C-alpha cells in the first residue's frame, strides 16, 4: 500500500478555543480536593445505614450539605444529582466495602 503525499496529517488541538492556564488547572484541582474532603465524611456516615439494603449502589454527595442521592445505576444517580445540585460540585461513591467509584 502506498501513501498519498498530498494528504498530510492535520495536527493540533481538538478544541483550540479551550485554553486553561496552569493556575486555573491548579485552582480547579484544589477546589475538587477540598470538595472531596467535605464529601467523604458524609459518605462514611451514610454507608453503614445504606450498605445493608443497597450494596453496590451509587451515592452522590453534596459537599456543603448533608443532601445525597443514590441509585443502582451510576448514570441515573448522576442525572438525579444534577437535578438536585445543578450548580454544585458533587462526588459519587459506591456503596461497597471501600467506597471506590468515580466522582464528577
Predicted confidence band at 26 (pLDDT cuts at 50, 70, 90)?
Answer: very high
pLDDT of residue 104: 44
Domain count, the chain: 1
pLDDT at residue 14, rounded to an integer: 77
Instruction: Evaluate if residue 79 carries a pLDDT over 60.
Output: yes
> Would residue 4 count as lying in a domain?
no
Would you say residue 3 lies in a domain?
no
92 three-state secondary structure:
strand
Instruction: With respect to residue 15, please indicate whether it lies within any of the assigned structural domains.
Output: no
pLDDT averaged over every residue in the chain: 82
Question: How buried is 88 (Cβ within 10 angstroms: 0-12 exposed, 13-18 middle, 19+ buried)?
Answer: middle
- The Cα-based distances of 56 to 1, 18, 36, 93, 97 in angstroms read 51, 36, 20, 10, 9
Burial 22-43 (b: 16+ CB within 10 A, else e): eeeeeeeeeeeeebbebbeebb
Instruction: Write out pLDDT tens, residues 56-65.
Output: 889 999 888 8
The residue ranking higher by pLDDT, 71 or 1, is 71
In a domain, 84, yes or no: yes
In this predicted structure, what is the pLDDT of residue 76?
A: 92
Position 101 in a domain? no
Query: Range of 69's domain?
Result: 22-94
Looking up cell 442521592 gives 69
Instruction: Look at residue 102 and tell me if it is in a domain.
Output: no
| Residue 34 resides in a domain | yes
Residue 12 lies in a domain: no
Contact 58, 72 (CB under 8 A): yes
Amino acid at each position: 500500500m502506498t501513501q498519498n503525499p498530498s494528504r498530510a496529517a492535520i495536527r493540533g488541538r481538538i478544541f483550540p478555543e479551550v485554553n486553561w492556564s496552569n493556575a486555573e488547572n491548579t485552582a480547579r484541582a484544589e477546589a475538587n480536593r477540598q470538595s472531596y474532603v467535605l464529601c467523604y465524611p458524609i459518605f462514611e456516615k451514610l454507608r453503614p445505614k445504606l450498605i445493608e439494603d443497597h450494596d453496590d449502589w451509587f451515592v452522590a454527595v453534596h459537599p456543603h450539605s448533608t443532601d445525597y442521592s443514590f441509585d443502582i445505576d451510576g448514570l441515573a444517580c448522576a442525572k438525579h444529582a444534577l437535578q438536585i445540585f445543578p450548580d454544585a460540585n458533587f462526588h459519587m461513591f459506591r456503596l461497597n466495602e471501600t467506597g471506590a467509584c468515580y466522582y464528577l
